[in-house]
């Protein structure tokens, strides 16, 4: 996998969130992320190419997912039913983040393809055995969004 700096992907995702849902976020450290609400909504998406397979795991706390879903759909927070809308919003966000990573890695010119996103009921059962190559944490008004990139080419 071509090296990606965590700050570069965080900046790219921050701009994408602002463009698509008017959600303002700041990159935070792992230590700062620990003081934010725990994530309880998870999704993943894969990127494949001639010589690579990259897994992106996305985790959001309920407050972040509610704000993102409401902003993306133009609804009020109290009108959001995460049981009905949350999974689709999270998968849409996974697709956007995956697309941004594809572009950072060289896009279609590099032969990269983005898979279909899926939500995870038990995120631990879908986690590779090694540490992620990139981890990013974003704070949206004391609400947490985290994502990890794993190079699973050799698996």
Tens-digit pLDDT profile for residues 58-67: 999 999 999 9
pTM equals: 0.91
Tens-digit pLDDT profile for residues 66-124: 999 999 999 998 999 998 999 999 999 999 999 999 999 888 888 999 999 999 987 66
Range of the domain at 39: 6-125
Q: Is residue 57 part of a domain?
A: yes
Contact 55/152 with Cβ under 8 angstroms? yes
Q: Is residue 104 part of a domain?
A: yes
Q: For the domain that residue 81 is a member of, what is the CATH number?
A: 3.40.1550.10
Q: Is residue 140 part of a domain?
A: no
Q: Is residue 134 part of a domain?
A: no
Q: Is residue 116 part of a domain?
A: yes
Q: Confidence class of residue 47 from pLDDT cuts 50, 70 and 90?
A: very high
Count structural domains, the chain. 1
Q: Is residue 149 part of a domain?
A: no
Reference 58, options 71, 73, 68, 70; nearest CA is 68
Contact 143/64 with Cβ under 8 angstroms? yes
């Amino acid at each position: 996998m071509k090296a990606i700096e965590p700050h570069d992907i965080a900046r790219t995702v921050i701009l994408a969130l602002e463009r698509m849902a008017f959600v303002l976020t700041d990159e935070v450290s792992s230590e700062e992320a620990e003081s934010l609400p725990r994530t309880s909504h998870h999704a993943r998406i894969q990127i494949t190419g001639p010589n690579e397979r990259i897994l992106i795991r996305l985790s959001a706390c309920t407050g972040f997912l509610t704000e993102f879903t409401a902003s993306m759909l133009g609804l009020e927070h109290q009108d959001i039913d995460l049981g009905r809308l949350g999974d689709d919003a999270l998968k849409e966000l996974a697709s956007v983040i995956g697309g941004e990573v594809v572009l950072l890695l060289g896009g279609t010119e590099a032969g990269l393809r983005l898979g279909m996103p899926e939500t995870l009921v038990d995120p631990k059962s879908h986690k590779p055995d090694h540490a992620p190559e990139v981890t990013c944490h974003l704070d949206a008004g004391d609400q947490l969004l985290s994502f990890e990139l794993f190079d699973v080419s050799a698996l």
